[in-house]
Structure 1
Amino acid sequence: MLPRSGDVLHVTRAASVQFLRPIMFRVIRVLDWPTYDGWLWLDGYELNAAGDAVNRRSIFVQQEGLRQVQAAPVPRQHTVRTARRPIARTPVRVG
């Protein structure tokens, strides 16, 4: 599963040895930088216990070691908008 923008991930030592202390991470995007097979560069935010962004980070992790906590919201379908009629304008009265 390739992470998507908006996904919240639990990143542990299984993803990379640099995460001795696991973090929660909200993905902004998967960077298309060259990597080893099975590894990813992710750009996003480290989250605190309340789910608030505390640090913007780019992390290098193994895709197999990531655990998805919350999926990104499903994009809304575009609604068809009808054309708006212009309002009727009357001459301006002066004086």
Structure 2
Amino acid sequence: MARSVRSGDVLLLTRAASPQFFRPITVRVIRVLDWTAYDGWLWIDAYQLGPDGMALARRSLYVIPGGAQFVVAPAVVPGRRRSVGRNPVRVGG
């Protein structure tokens, strides 16, 4: 049985999910929309993610869930930045 798409899922979308994804993108699902769609397709509201897992843009996308690849992604803590290429700054000690 195919897994259903839910809020919070991280998906890798390729041409298998829709021809529009000639270049694959990774998204975090905000919600599944109840818009009219062809049988087997659905509309999702999602954040497109960058390589660091941070949101780049909010998008409404039309996809075939069976073509989406579910990704296990590390959680992103709001308000915290990851240090890149240097030591983190230490405060107070």
Q: TM-score, normalised by structure 1?
A: 0.72
Q: What residue ranges of structure 1 are gaps of 5+ in the alignment? A: 74-95
Which digits, 9 at most, give the CA deviation of each residue in 1:13-57, with x for residues without a partner? Answer: 000000000000000000011110100100010000000000000
| d(CA) in 1 for partners of 2:27, 2:40 | 19
Q: CA RMSD in A?
A: 1.5
| d(CA) in 2 for partners of 1:6, 1:70 | 11
| d(CA) in 1 for partners of 2:40, 2:54 | 29
Is 1:26 aligned to residue 39 of structure 2?
Answer: no
Which digits, 9 at most, give the CA deviation of each residue in 1:43-73, with x for residues without a partner? Answer: 01000000000000000011110110038x9
Amino acid at match of 1:5: S
Aligned partner of 2:80 in structure 1 is none
Of residues 50, 68, 80, the one that matches 1:48 is 50
**Percent identity (aligned):** 58
**Partner SS for 1:36:** coil
Q: What residue ranges of structure 2 are gaps of 5+ in the alignment? A: 76-93
Aligned partner of 2:59 in structure 1 is 57
Q: TM-score, normalised by structure 2?
A: 0.73
Higher Cα Rg, which structure: 1
**Partner SS for 1:64:** helix
Amino acid at match of 1:64: G
